[in-house]
Amino acid sequence: MKSTIATLLTLSALSLFAAAPVRADADDDAWIRRCVSDNKDEGQTVPVVLTYCTCMNNRMSSSETRSITVWEKANPRAAEACGREAGWKGK
């Protein structure tokens, strides 16, 4: 049952991502999907997590090699701003 829910959430996130205006290439897509996966248990809706991850990705340099999850820890102001933009609750 949990895997079915996880699969549905992933598919929902990917379908929302496909409609989201983003300066994304294949590399960006992979980083955003990883971020969404890293944050799936944070108690937020899929659109909120997707917006947050997309915002964080867009703030990062294209030459950045750290994941969004690692990068956000070194850039708390960006994380706070993206959390506000996404409507993240309780962060």
Determine, yes or no, domain membership for 91. no
pTM (predicted TM-score): 0.73
Quote the pLDDT of residue 16: 53
CB 48 within 8 A of CB 11: no
- Residue 9's domain spans which residues? 2-86
Determine, yes or no, domain membership for 11. yes
Quote the pLDDT of residue 27: 85
What domain count does the chain have? 1
How many Cβ atoms are within 10 Å of 78's Cβ, its own excluded? 17
Determine, yes or no, domain membership for 10. yes
Quote the pLDDT of residue 71: 95
Determine, yes or no, domain membership for 66. yes
Determine, yes or no, domain membership for 21. yes
Determine, yes or no, domain membership for 67. yes
pLDDT digits (tens, 9 = 90+) for 6-61: 555 555 555 555 545 545 578 899 999 999 999 999 999 999 999 999 999 999 99
